[in-house]
Structure formats: C-alpha cells, structure tokens
Structure 1
C-alpha cells in the first residue's frame, strides 16, 4: 500500500511539474507573438479624430461616430484587455465551459493575439492562441499548453476569419472604424451599413446594425470560414455600453454561427479590464 501511495504522489507531482512547464512555455510563446505585433506597428495619421471626417458617410454611420466618439478623441493605437465568460467547443450541442483570456490588439497594421484558458474539466485547461499577425491568421489550441489539438496557420481562409474577428471587435476600439484608418462605408438603410476593410491580400466586409442610441447592436458577415471547406454566416451581438477613455464601448458580447434553423452561439464574454494606447 505504501508503494501504491508513493506512486500516486509521484504521478501527481509529475503532472504538476508538466503543467507548470506547459504554462511557462505557452506564456513565452504569447510574449513572442505580442512582441511581433508591437514591432509590426505603423505610424498612425491623423492622430486625432475630427468630426468633419465623417461628413458624407451614411446617416446611421454618422450617428454612430457622434454617439461613441467626441470631437478631438485621440486615435487608438493599441488595446490590452481581459475577458471572462463561457465558450462552447461542441458543434452539435450546448456544452459551455468557463474561460478567462487576455488580448492585445494593435490597430495599424491590424492585428491581435487572444490568449485564453478554457476549462475542459476541473484542473485541466485548453490553452488557446487566436491571432492575426502581419496579414496572417492562426489558431493554436493545446491541452495544458503541451499537447496540440488544433493548429491552423496562414491559409487564406484563416486570414479571412481572423481579420473578420479583428474587424468585429473594433467596437472596443471604435477609432479603427474611421475612414482615415482604412474603413469604407456603404449605405444599406436607416439603421445599418456595410463596412469593408482590406489588409494586404485580404478584404472582408461586415454589416453593422445600430441600436436606437446609435451604437453598434450587431454585426454580420455573409460568410466566414470555419475551416478550408466550410464558410457560413457569422454574427455578433454587443450590449452594456460604458464610457471608457472618452469612448462609448460595449462590455458584453456573444458570437455564433448562423444556421438555417437559427444561431448557434459559441462565445459569451464580458470585458473585465481594458487599457488603451493612443497616437501622440
């Protein structure tokens, strides 16, 4: 019995050491990715938002900018945020797992790194990097930071999907949606408009629906690639707006795939902390 107990303790110690090593190695990879994001940044001009920039845009887009920005707002260059929420990794049924994440975003050249811990079972996390870096998208999921379960990088489908994510999340850094920052807006109706963004060889479009106050309520892509073969409508919804550094941003959101029978959500999250860097 003593030997069995000793073996059990040894196994627990080895698993603990493996988890510590996996976390350390993963964190090093996160730091490397984020260093590349920062090193790839470009100079942003103009450095200040002026309301005359939005003259001539579709009416709901003008209302949006007047709602979320004030004249003289400094242009966002980078964002560091923390999130918590639930993630559904099962395609066939609702099987939600809690997650925590941090994310770094740079706005020129557009890019981000999302570093998440998704609880698979108590004490066992999937480590996830979702990244758009210098025109290339990638997804890397690893058990305990040691055992890769998903790794996709650099295919046109990955690039499109990750640039769409950056685009949709610009609700957190709304100066990135300005025409001066590379956005093109086209009218649809009194409450929605289509925006188009090009980065390198990748061009993506989203339809934004605005709420009664003028802020973004939803966004929708006609087709986002889930893998190399499957592209589906992709939707996001945002709410609980709050003023942060002079900008009106949402604190909560959810994202899902749009099936003929309805939307299947896979992300429900809340921004718990956010810090900005501005052009100067």
Structure 2
C-alpha cells in the first residue's frame, strides 16, 4: 500500500500540470490571430510614383516595382543573431520567419533560438492595431508574455512602418502620409487604430532606403520613454524582379550609446504569398 501513494501523488501532479497547460492553451488560442489573404491592388504606374516625394519615387524605380503588381505582402525567412543586454559578449543565433501585409496592416514574426544552452521560442505580432509578444521555454512554459497596451501597440506600429522597405505597397496606404522630404530623406507618419507612428527614411546615392529611424518604446512599463531606434540595410537581393534588403541591423540608442541588439540575413523571401493554414 505504501508504494501506491507516491505513484498516485505523481499521477495527480501530472493531471494538475496537464490541466493548467490545457487552460493556458485555451486562453492563448483565443488570442492567436488569423491572417488575411493578400489583397492585390494592381500595378504601380509612373503617375502613382510621381505623386510621391521625389526620394520615394526614385526608390520605387530603383527597386523595380514600377510597372509591376504592388507588393502588398511579403514572407521573409531569416537567420539572426541577438543580444538582450549591451554588456552581453556572445550573440544568440536564431532562425525566424515573418509574414507582413499592407492591408490590413499586420505582421507575424516567430523565431527559435538557443540561449545559455536552452531552447527558446518567441513571437511578435501586430493585427487590428493590437500588438502581442510571447516568449516560451522549450516551446511550452511562458517566460515572458506581454499583452497589448498603448505603448506596445505604438511600438509595433513603428516597427511595421519602419519595415516599409519590405513592403513598398505601403507608400500608397491611406493610413500613411509624408510630412517632410529633402534630397535624401523622407518623414512618414502612419495613423492606425488610435496609434501613431513616425519614421524618417534615409536614402543612399543610388536611391535605395539605407536607414529607417524612429523614436520607439523599448520597454512598455509606466516609466518607459521613447528611445531612438535605427534599422540599417547593409546588402540587397532581388526576388521576383524586385530588390529587397538581404542584411539588416537593428540598433537602439541608450544613454547616447548605440546597442545593436539584432542583426539578420534573409535566407529566402516571397512576394505576395499566401499564408499556409498550418502556420
């Protein structure tokens, strides 16, 4: 009889863990968004480009979208390297995938990596003006889970607008306006579901977007403030006749010092793809 109690205790513990996991899965299943079909919008004409600020029009011509179907969605597969703190010396390698859509404005990024020898999965999403972020240990135990709030929503919209370099169809979005331009820069503003994003795009001598700069929330607690965030393109590649970035660094400026927390190379991409049902 004594031998039965440890086994029974273990069984009850497993039932409790399984019940908690089922409850967690049911909760998070309700939050997982469904992703749209690509809404094609026709070809980009020379007249459409000429209505934009000159650097934007030159960029569209340089990357080869004029005369082609608008890029309304993109899929990118990345190999990345990440640091969580400026003092960290080693980079954590990651494998990531992302879908982004012009209409409705949305993206979903998911990654897997090894950190201190442990398997970690993470996701970052934006849909219907709401952002979500989730990190799990071993694909099961939530390490960090941030639910949508005003600061997180704004930061996600900032990220979405900064990534216009992947989604040139975004320049024609009714949510986007261009407020200022020079020979080599354009200020853009996007308003969507009560959030406002402001990004400055900088162009190189060839007309490509070289950098995107924004003031973003790195953290979303009550005391957090906006910090400079910079996305810089270092290399390009051609996919379906359209030139897109191949290598990108993401850098925060903290106390006046640059902290490159994520850098990645694009291993594969698709223009105007469909999202698999199982994704």
TM score, norm. by length of structure 1: 0.80
Determine the structure 2 residue equivalent to 1:117: 112
SS of the residue aligned with 1:138? Answer: strand
Partners of 1:165 and 1:131 in 2: how far apart?
10
Deviation readout 1:233-270 (Å, 9 max, x if unpaired): 11110121122122211101010211243210110101
Match of 1:49 among 28, 44, 48: 44
Alpha carbons of structure 1 residues 114 and 42: separation in structure 2 relative to 1, 3 Å: closer
Unaligned 5+ runs, structure 1:
1-21
Determine the structure 1 residue equivalent to 2:158: 164
Structure number with the higher helix fraction is: 1
- 8 Å CA contact 2:152–2:217 kept in 1: the answer is no
Deviation readout 1:17-44 (Å, 9 max, x if unpaired): xxxxx9xx99xx79x846x122xx5845
SS of the residue aligned with 1:206? Answer: strand
Structure 2 counterparts to residues 1-280 of structure 1, below 5 A: 33=32, 36-38=34-36, 43=39, 46-122=41-117, 124-176=118-170, 178-180=171-173, 182-228=175-221, 229-230=223-224, 231-277=226-272
SS of the residue aligned with 1:170? Answer: helix
Structure 1 residue 56: deviation in Å?
4.1
Unaligned 5+ runs, structure 2:
1-20, 275-279
TM score, norm. by length of structure 2: 0.80
Partners of 1:142 and 1:106 in 2: how far apart?
25
- 8 Å CA contact 1:37–1:134 kept in 2: the answer is no
- 8 Å CA contact 2:74–2:273 kept in 1: the answer is no
Structure 1 residue 189: deviation in Å?
2.1
Partners of 1:226 and 1:93 in 2: how far apart?
18
SS of the residue aligned with 1:157? Answer: helix
SS of the residue aligned with 1:76? Answer: coil
Partners of 1:106 and 1:180 in 2: how far apart?
11
Partners of 2:163 and 2:105 in 1: how far apart?
12
SS of the residue aligned with 1:37? Answer: coil
Alpha carbons of structure 1 residues 135 and 214: separation in structure 2 relative to 1, 3 Å: same
**RMSD of Structure 2 on Structure 1 (CA):** 2.6
